[in-house]
Structure 1
Amino acid sequence: MRRGIDHGLLAALLLLVFPLLVGAEETVQARIDEASAYGVVRLPSGVYDEAIVLSKPLTLEGIGEVTIRSCGQSPVISVFGRHVVLKHIRVISCGKTSDLAAVYVTGSDHVIHDVHVKARHRGIQLDQAHHVTVSHCTIQGEKSGNGIDLWESTQNVIHDTAVAHGKDGIYIENSHNNRVVSNHIAYSRYGIHVMFSNRIIVRNNVSEKNVAGAMVMGTEQTIVEQNVFTRNLQHVHSQGLLLYDAKKTKVRNNRMVANRVGMYVERAHDNELTGNDVSYNFIGMQWNESSNNHVSDNSFIGNVYDGQAVRSADNVIVRNYWDAASKLDVTGKGESAIPYRMDPFFLALTARIPEYQWFFHSPGMIVLQKLLRSPDEQVLTDDAPLIETPMVTKDDPSQPTILLYVISAGMIIGSLTGFIKGRKRA
């Protein structure tokens, strides 16, 4: 009799526990399908091994620690239609299909909030999606797909989101009028990659430790402002910002610090570059085949080489601060009467014979550059350099100013020691 009671209790416990687990795994899509339009589906804590589709206006919300996981050949979460809200959910995509997105979004007026994605390929893909907001999300990739990928998608906002180890952190192609604001991107190829997209706003982002902080290409009327592009130096072609084939674009009030090249400008015309802090890079600013750009009120401090240019005439470069420039204010306007020239001699020489890079800033190379001056139309010249920097430049985290002081002090002490020993021998 007692054994029968025990078996009955065990059966009751199994009925109580296992239906809940099976239900959690099998009924997520059913719950979505059964929900009314504009309803809310709340998922309790747990791991749901399922790929789901949201194709009507509703909210899918995780309560507690909620993970939706799939290793299949379709996205873990697919969003269609309009007015879908997805929030407080962790998404794991382990499918092997190339270019598979963990979260696929099309349609309009969706909200993706506090969604944390771990993806083998793409993280969040917006495909012909409009008026979508992606906010406070994280995307962890494996460098085989873009963190956030936009294709033919307009008027979307991506803000306060972190992307790491993507192929490109945030990739925008053929997608106009989008805003990328207050995001953090690291350990990717291009932190932010804009291609053939106009009127993009890239504001207040931090892009660091990538091959390039941002590549802005084939764009018009785009604004790149108040961003930090730093420590992008993992490749021989690394830059803080690469501005390529851009027109009527404004690059202003950014910090481009401790990159291989702070700002690379190629085939860019009719742009404004103002108020930027370009400091402690190997090359501050590099130009190629660019004209009719306006460059003013920028600060170039602590770069190994401030600027180089090839075939870049008819640019207006005036009133920038160059710490290497000779300064003589004869008018009291805070402008030097001595123009500052950036001769492309070394760039042109090493392009033909890369081994000459070993002689960078050597005395012989400096003499050659003085003797074999490039034609004026190939030289970037600031006709009125500023006497003082127009902005307060923050020290780079690696404290290059302190390092420069130590090196300078060492050189002075060494010179004095040699001078004193020379006098004693005499």
Structure 2
Amino acid sequence: MKNKRWVSLLPSLLLVSSLLLARTTEPDNEPGKQRLPGATADMSTAPRVNVDRPKPFFALSERHARVHGLAPFQALVDAAPAGSVLRPPPGNYAGPVELTKPLTIEGAGKVTIDAGDKGTVISLQTDGVTLRGLHLTGSGDSHDTDDSCLDVRGHRNTIENLVIDNCLNGIDLKQANDNLIKNNKVKSKPFSLGLRGDGLRLWYSHRNLIEGNEVTDSRDMVAWYSNDNVYRHNLGMRSRYSIHFMFAKNNLVEDNRFIDNAVGIYFMYGDGGTVRHNLISHATGATGMAIGFKEASNILIDNNEIVYCAIGIGSDMSPFEPDSKIWVKNNRFAFNGIAIQLLSELGGNIMTDNIFEGNLTNAVQAGRGNTGLNEWRGNYWDDYQGFDRNHDGMGDTPYELYSYADQIWIELPAARFFKTALVLELLDFLERLAPFSTPELTLKDTQPRFIKPQGVKG
């Protein structure tokens, strides 16, 4: 009976919903078109919503004794008129500092602001500020309140030539757009890797230029829900992720050096992005990876130098969106454990004009049997065994990579520890000499290069 009652009411419910929809739409400028309310709203003028957890107040007596005799820098900020240039006398000052008006603060490399190991050193809560030539140090160590050297909560600010050390997080941008972060040196507190803070963090922050910075001995550089940012000429060393993108679109990473980090650049759940002209080296260890993808799509990897990494490119369920691609071209993969590893293979990877030399394994593909879903063309393989009889620089026969005994450690990750052990090397040799199991085709490059191309820029 109840089901019959709902069926009898269905036409009336549909009529009411259609009337409500008609009332919530209004004609567009174009005749015959309708739009929802707010479709043309200018979100750039929307009020800012504070997303920070309340930060506790610390009395001077709770801060480290080294700051007890220092003049508070906040007094200089309060006395400076909005829009003015503040050039404080050289020396050490006590934090914390809160900026709520546009100022230019010039430290000339001779001004230190120290928060005494409590809270955040500078909180920037406005637009149009310039901070230049300051040394910021001594934040707290609480991850709950995101203690940092510098919080940026405004737009169109310039942050350059800062030295940041002994801080949990370095520079933390939240809902902060169109800022310039340039030529800063950032270090975290001397904690173990997992307990450090992020050297540079972007959260819902768009169109920022991050250029010429040195981020070392921190945890990560991260960009969450942050689009259209540019990372250029930066150095990242001895951290976990050089850059970790999550739900971030159309970011550009070019001309950077990422050395001795666990992971170079990682794209997670994103669509769009470009990585070009970077050097990524010594991403080693159990999780070592130069560039990684997790359910990411439409990303270009172009003209990078990827050397001495456990894995050059690691891809999981990528490209993810239907009919999307990941382009890997003009890169040099040299002396890596595995140059390219494709997991949960969906296809859509286009690998062209790359150099593969000195790698223990050039490529590993899970879900084997779907090799035709990816495209390999015009790559140089240092283990190619064909000829170039017409001297056109291309191999006469395709380059084919088969997995023999490698299937053991591909299918059983725990066996990878023994990857180069004598017993597996011998087993692999016997498999190639007189196969007693069917080898599986990993990839086929129909137009391999016979002559190594020049000009890959890292």
Normalised-by-shorter TM-score class: 0.7 to 0.9
Which deviates further from its counterpart, 186-195 or 357-366? 357-366
Aligned to 1:157: 209
Equivalent position of 2:353 in the other structure: 297
Report the CA distance between 1:72 and its aligned residue.
5.4
Q: Does 220-229 or 59-68 show the bigger shift? A: 59-68
Instruction: Mark the CA change 1:286 to 1:347 in structure 2 (over 3 Å): closer, same or farther.
Output: farther
Alpha-carbon distance between aligned partners in 1 of 2:405 and 2:240, rounded to the nearest angstrom: 28
2:386 corresponds to which residue?
Answer: 327
Say if 2:167 is the partner of 1:120: yes
Deviations 1:370-421 (Å, cap 9, x if unpaired)? Answer: 4433454xx2221221011222469x9xxxxxxxxxxxxxxxxxxxxxxxxx
Aligned partner letter, 1:335? M
Equivalent position of 2:37 in the other structure: none
* Mapping of residues 252-291 of structure 1, within 5 Å: 252-269=302-319, 270-288=325-343, 289-291=345-347
Q: Deviations over 1:155-202 (max 9, x none)?
A: 10111000111111x211111111111100010011111111000101
* 8 Å CA contact retained: 2:187, 2:218: yes
The 5-angstrom pairing of residues 7-406 of structure 1 reads: 25-26=71-72, 28-71=73-116, 73-98=118-143, 99-142=146-189, 143=193, 144-168=196-220, 170-233=221-284, 235-269=285-319, 270-288=325-343, 289-311=345-367, 313=371, 314-350=373-409, 351-352=411-412, 354=415, 356-357=418-419, 358-359=421-422, 362-368=425-431, 370-376=435-441, 379-392=442-455
Change (3 A) 1:371 1:330: farther
Q: How many residues align?
A: 370
Seq. identity, % = 25
Instruction: Give deviations 1:235-294, integer Å, cap 9, x for gaps.
Output: 212112223322111000000011112222222121110000101112222111241111
How far 1:22 sits from its partner (Å)? 10
> Secondary structure of 1:31's partner?
helix
| Residue pair 1:101, 1:119 contacting (<8 A) in 2 also | no
Cα deviation digits, residues 308-330 of structure 1 (max 9, x gap)? 11126410101100001113224
Contact 2:83 2:102 (8 Å CA) reproduced: yes
Query: Does the CA contact (< 8 Å) of 1:130 and 1:154 recur in 2?
Result: yes
Cα deviation digits, residues 74-93 of structure 1 (max 9, x gap) = 31011112101101000002
TM-score of the aligned structures, taking structure 1 as reference length? 0.81
Q: TM-score, normalised by structure 2?
A: 0.76
Alpha-carbon distance in 1 for matches of 2:304, 2:230: 16
Task: Measure the CA separation in 2 of the matches of 1:290 and 1:330.
Answer: 36
**What root-mean-square deviation, in Å, do the aligned CA atoms of Structure 1 and Structure 2 show?**
2.3
SS of corresponding position for 1:130: coil
**Counterpart position of 1:15:** none
Question: Which residue does 1:14 correspond to in 2?
Answer: none
**C-alpha contact (below 8 Å) 1:334/1:386 kept by paired residues:** yes
Indicate how the Cα distance of structure 1 residues 325 and 360 shifts in structure 2: closer, same or farther if over 3 A, else same. Answer: farther
Deviation at 1:62, TM superposition (A): 0.7
| Displacement after TM superposition at 1:101 (Å) | 1.3
**Aligned-residue offset at 1:151:** 0.6
Change (3 A) 1:251 1:361: farther
Corresponding letter in the other structure for 2:447: A
CA distance 1:347–1:54, change in 2 (3 Å): farther
CA drift of 1:366 comes to 3.3
Contact map agreement 1:140 1:164 (CA 8 A) in 2: yes
Q: Which runs of 5+ in 1 are unaligned?
A: 1-20, 397-426
| CA distance in 2: counterparts of 1:343 and 1:273, whole angstroms | 21
Secondary structure of residue in 2 paired with 1:202: strand
* Structure 2 SS opposite 1:362: helix
Q: Aligned with 2:295: secondary structure? A: strand
